[in-house]
Amino acid sequence: MDLAEKSSGEPMQWAAIIGVIATVSVFAIAQGLSYPLLSFILQRQGVSPAVIGLSAAMTPIGFILSSPLIPGLARRFGAGRTALTCAALSALVLGLIGWTQDVTLWFPLRFLTGVVTNPLYVLSETWVIALAPPSRRGRIMGLYSTIISAGFAAGPLCLLAVGTEGWAPFLVGIFAFLFCGCCLALVVRRLPKVDETGHKVSVLAFIPMAWLLMSAVVVAAGFEQAILSLLPVYGTHHGIPDARMSALLSVMIAGNIAMQVPLGLLAERLTARLVRFGCVLATILGCALLPALIDTPLIWPCVFVWGAVSYGVYTMSIIELGERFTGSALVAGNAAFSLMWGLGGIIVPPLTGSAMDVIGTAGLPLTLGAICAALAAATVARRRVV
């Protein structure tokens, strides 16, 4: 036990925490690799962008529809057994995708990818929250968010090493899912029985219990997906080269990766709710500054901070989730987070794109600023009610 543990009286189960975070990091690499890989293959087959987009949408739809089932699966079969089974099934489904190479069959297979990977992600996040002592939950969840983001970013980099043709990239993803299961198997006996304690709560019943957290997840997910999809379009309309816009997105992702631990430490000193409110206000400020700074050198530090605080909304939400809920309610809450993340990714980008069609490029910062302002207003209103 180190000095910090002695002073706090909270033992750190480092082996279990490291094992679960390793599990999720490898999972993120596999997921981050599969999205661009399948898009490259479909492009070579001459599939239209619209069909490629619909194919990619099957996975988040699988997330959404499987989320309500996760608490029941964890209670019936055990969280550990459910997660290990899903790791094996994820490898199997990715193998089937590589074997078929057929856009029609990929629709149901990519849907199944969402269904079988979602419980693995939800339960792993639940374990990290449950294992983190309250006095250190901020930094641990910040580290967790950092590693998840870095894993997703590293996935496409794997394609630079193995290419996008043949079985090699699929084997990397399959091995990653299997290795993910091995990491989990090593620590599964050390993990808390999150599926067996507390009153049984369904995902749909949980949503009104924490509606503000659910709203924050929708906003965070929608913002991230809209920016990744539409900021290049925004830059093109302002005459900015594609290479510069790609670099700006990379800087934004770097801000996301670099700043979650500092934000988590700040949440330990203040509160997760207060830091989330600050992140929302800073995100609104970024929306307001975007038109003025897009073609100036100041846009680089702006998007770095923008990436940090916009994703910080989600990091602070999972910290608060761990502060307020335990046991089966925590499992239901994480599953609800996954459902809301899928909804945000489906709803906000088309809404933002439609606004850009109607009022021009200003629709991007105006729409995203408006949904963040609505979240800020809801936060203030809830505090006044309490």
> What is the reported pLDDT for 85?
94
Q: State the pLDDT confidence band at 145, using cuts at 50, 70 and 90.
A: confident
CA 144, distance to chain mean position in Å, is: 11
CATH superfamily of 203-385: MFS general substrate transporter like domains (1.20.1250.20)
**DSSP per residue, 252-293:** HHHHHHHHHHHHHHHHHHS-HHHHHHHHHHHHHHHHHHHHHH
Write the pLDDT tens digit of every residue in 347-383: 888 888 888 888 888 999 999 999 999 999 999 987 7
352, burial (CB in 10 Å: exposed 0-12, middle 13-18, buried 19+)? buried
> What is the reported pLDDT for 6?
41
Write the pLDDT tens digit of every residue in 301-327: 999 999 999 999 999 999 999 999 888
Which residues make Cβ contacts (< 8 Å) with residue 228, sequence separation at least 6?
249
Q: State the pLDDT confidence band at 11, using cuts at 50, 70 and 90.
A: low
**DSSP per residue, 156-208:** HHHHHHH-SSSSHHHHHHHHHHHHHHHHHHHHGGGS--TTTSSS---HHHHGG
Which range of 186-190, 244-248, 278-282 scores highest in mean pLDDT? It is: 278-282
* Type of residue found at 290: L
Q: What is the mean pLDDT of residues 43-48?
A: 79
Q: 3-class DSSP state for residue 325? A: coil
Task: Examine the pLDDT at 173 and tell me if it is beyond 60.
Answer: yes
Structure tokens at 103: 């856009």
CA distances from 218 to 126, 201, 230, 352 (A): 19, 21, 17, 14
Q: State the pLDDT confidence band at 386, using cuts at 50, 70 and 90.
A: very low
> What is the reported pLDDT for 28?
84
Closest CA to 305 of 273, 265, 262, 350: 262
Please name the fold of domain 7-190: Growth Hormone; Chain: A; (1.20.1250)
Please indicate whether the domains covering 7-190 and 203-385 agree at the CATH topology level: yes
Parse the chain into domains and list their residue ranges. 7-190, 203-385
Residue 11, Ramachandran bin (φ over 0: left; ψ between -120 and 50: alpha; else beta): beta
Residue 297 is classified by DSSP as T
Q: What is the mean pLDDT of residues 152-177?
A: 84
Q: What is the mean pLDDT of residues 230-236?
A: 82
Please name the residue that has the structure tokens 């599990």.
23
Task: Examine the pLDDT at 220 and tell me if it is beyond 70.
Answer: yes
> What is the reported pLDDT for 2?
41
Closest CA to 118 of 346, 344, 338: 338
What pTM, to 2 d.p., does this model score?
0.85
